[in-house]
């Protein structure tokens, strides 16, 4: 009788696109149907313009967010929202984190 190989450790399902705390926090801020402007995201994430801009660019390249440019009156604005692909990837990442914690016997997330 042959044994089936063990299931891969949940860490293999972690998404490197969320390895940065700012990218992780950005995705956590953008639930389904939520669109936030750049200034609001900067305030929520308590980070500077450059790190936030880099995080948005990275997640946009991955297909996880869309940055929409426009204006409010005469002032240029950028709004960001998550894609269905991004939300699914983030949900999978969170599930893998939960499973890692459960394997270690730590508190449930």
pLDDT on residue 74: 81
Tell whether 104 is covered by a domain: no
Tell whether 63 is covered by a domain: yes
Tell whether 57 is covered by a domain: yes
Say how many domains are in the chain: 1
Structure confidence by residue, pLDDT tens digits, 2-43? 778 888 999 999 999 999 999 999 999 998 899 999 999 999
Tell whether 37 is covered by a domain: yes
Tell whether 21 is covered by a domain: yes
Tell whether 3 is covered by a domain: no
Which helix H or strand E contains 94, and what residues bound it?
Answer: helix 84-103
Tell whether 14 is covered by a domain: yes
CA–CA dist 36, 79 (Å, integer)? 5
Tell whether 72 is covered by a domain: yes
Per-residue pLDDT band at 106 (split at 50, 70, 90): low
CATH of residue 88: 1.10.10.10
Which phi and psi (to 5°) does residue 37 adopt? Answer: -80, 160
pLDDT on residue 58: 98
| Residue 74 lies in domain | 10-99
pLDDT on residue 109: 60
């Amino acid at each position: 009788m042959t044994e089936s190989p063990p299931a891969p450790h949940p860490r293999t399902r972690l998404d490197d696109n969320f390895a940065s705390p700012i990218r992780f926090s950005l995705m956590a801020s953008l639930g389904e149907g939520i669109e936030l402007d750049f200034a609001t995201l900067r305030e929520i994430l308590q980070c500077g313009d450059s790190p936030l801009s880099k995080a948005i660019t990275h997640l946009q390249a991955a297909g996880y967010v869309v940055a929409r440019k426009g204006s409010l009156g005469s002032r240029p604005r950028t709004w960001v929202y998550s894609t269905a692909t991004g939300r699914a990837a983030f949900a999978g990442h969170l599930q893998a984190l939960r499973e890692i914690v459960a394997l270690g016997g730590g508190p449930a997330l």
